[in-house]
Chain A
């Protein structure tokens, strides 16, 4: 059970890292996530059933998410609409696109398809057991993604992204085109979300266009829960607490689902629970003296 919670937390933690990048670093509240999560799932599923190399399929999913996120940024940049609306547009359009990607259906089972996770499971069966193998696999995957992201935030481009989220005029004054930075940033964010969706599909054994419903809100809840664990201005700790927040969120949802019936909670109430969690976080943040907004790390 606990392994299951952690594995789910890690899978969705990748999505939460994407949400952290757009909402916290770029200060670009982006709702495309609800569409790019199932997009990643759909692309992965169709590539795998088509017999594509698994690593390549993951890369294709990431790229699809990146492009979709980039389109959100372009809509925002070129039409001057708020990021929220741009994200809703992309999300809505993606619903139709995802059905097309899945070959005109809303759901594609992966039961008899060889996936990255079936190979891990088979490998585990013979040695340390399925659950342990999955756990170790996802710890490694998420750690690699986290470290790459940390590294990225130390590059000139990564630093510029952090600066833009704080002060767009400053980066314009430094000769940087903010539109370009947004395209790359929101693209990267949704690329991560798509990877998360790709793993979720393999974990659950199917891809579904409705997989993404309300996912951005849960991602936000994960980010905010993480912010309560500890405060820091070091990027390595900031990304770590996003992942911990995701695991914590999955744990809360698990208990909501399995023990909620004592207080008459049904699985249908989980969205309500998510919303209340966010509202609670907002209230607590308001009364906290320290700002929990993203802070750039010192670089030494």
Chain B
């Protein structure tokens, strides 16, 4: 469905700060895949998402979606079929607007006209959808989103993203900024949405156990390369220890990241 061909990303080309962040990345994402991605800090995971979503253009290589080369399509165009949730809960919603207005802006992707589309029927629909989150937001639809907690806000972002049923969902450590209780609540909701709508998902996480427990496929990145791509039985039989050992065997060094080891 989505294919990356020989993606290279170089920041600061021609300067002393030249940084080769993605190196010849090839990846085929199949419909229905739930891919978890782990890798040390600075491995290039977020940059990979930026390239897929169109936020950054790669230095070379191609992004192909449904056999069409979209490498040069701007981010807002790709947003019609790619949904993305960031680590920062503030990025997904507008804090100065009410919950229902936020949902309205998210409801149908693409350019918005001079229609006034928030009517009773829409509100009822939004209320139903909010109930589904099970965090009582349905009673606060007129409240500004800025008044919600990070966890509530991220749950709302998840719901808003789902409203448009994107073909690919990108989750970039979307629970990392939340406290443990909210993090597990949002993760629970994420699983629920993925099950319900059969989304194709890529999820970056620093929690190796999460990466093993979730999804059907696991990628490990290091220094701009995908160094491990496992699925099925091979993935299911992994443990955190065997994953770390695997990393060591491939890269001949220790898996180093400040956040991973104890989680």
Contact = CB atoms under 8 A, between A and B. Distances in A.
Interface in B112-137: 112-118, 123
Which among A155, A173, A178 has the greatest number of chain B C-beta atoms within 10 A? A173
Given A169-B86, A175-B109, A296-B101, 10 more contacts: A155-B116, A170-B94, A172-B75, A173-B161, A175-B79, A176-B109, A176-B111, A177-B74, A298-B144, A299-B100
A213 to B, nearest CB: 33
Given A156-B104, A173-B79, A173-B84, A162 B112 contact: no
Contact of B93 (A167, A297, A299, A300): A167
25 contacts: A155-B113, A155-B114, A156-B105, A156-B113, A156-B114, A157-B113, A160-B112, A163-B94, A163-B102, A167-B90, A167-B93, A167-B95, A169-B86, A174-B105, A174-B109, A175-B76, A175-B77, A177-B111, A293-B96, A294-B96, A296-B97, A298-B98, A298-B100, A299-B101, A300-B100
A170 B142 contact: no
Contacts of B144: 233, 295-296, 298
B76 A172 contact: yes
Given A162-B97, A296-B144, A171 B116 contact: no
A192 to B, nearest CB: 17
A168 to B, nearest CB: 10
Contacts of B104: 156, 159, 299
A157 B112 contact: yes
A166 B94 contact: yes
Binding site secondary structure of chain A: helix
A167 B94 contact: yes
Nearest to A25: B96
Interface of B: 74-77, 79-80, 83-84, 86, 90-98, 100-102, 104-106, 109-118, 123, 141-144, 161, 164
A234 B259 CA distance: 44
The bracket for how many chain A residues form the interface is 20 to 34
B82 to A, nearest CB: 9
Contacts of A295: 96, 144
A152 interface: yes
Contact of B91 (A154, A169, A293): A169
Given A174-B105, A300-B142, A166 B97 contact: yes
A205 to B, nearest CB: 37
Top 7 A-B residue pairs of the complex, sorted by shortest distance between their CB atoms: A175-B109, A298-B142, A296-B97, A156-B112, A163-B94, A166-B94, A175-B79
A180 interface: yes
A159 B142 contact: no
Interface of A: 151-152, 154-157, 159-160, 162-163, 165-167, 169-178, 180, 233, 293-300
Contact of B105 (A159, A180, A293): A159
A134 to B, nearest CB: 32
A169 to B, nearest CB: 5
B154 to A, nearest CB: 13
Contacts of A167: 90-91, 93-95
Q: Most A CB atoms within 10 A — which of B75, B84, B86?
A: B75
Contacts of A155: 112-116
Given A155-B115, A156-B114, A167-B90, A172 B79 contact: yes
Which of the listed residues B80, B98, B115, B123 has the most CB atoms from chain A within 10 Å of its own CB?
B98
Contact of A297 (B77, B98, B161): B98
A154 B105 contact: no
A171 B80 CA distance: 11
B100 A296 contact: no
Contacts of A154: 116, 118
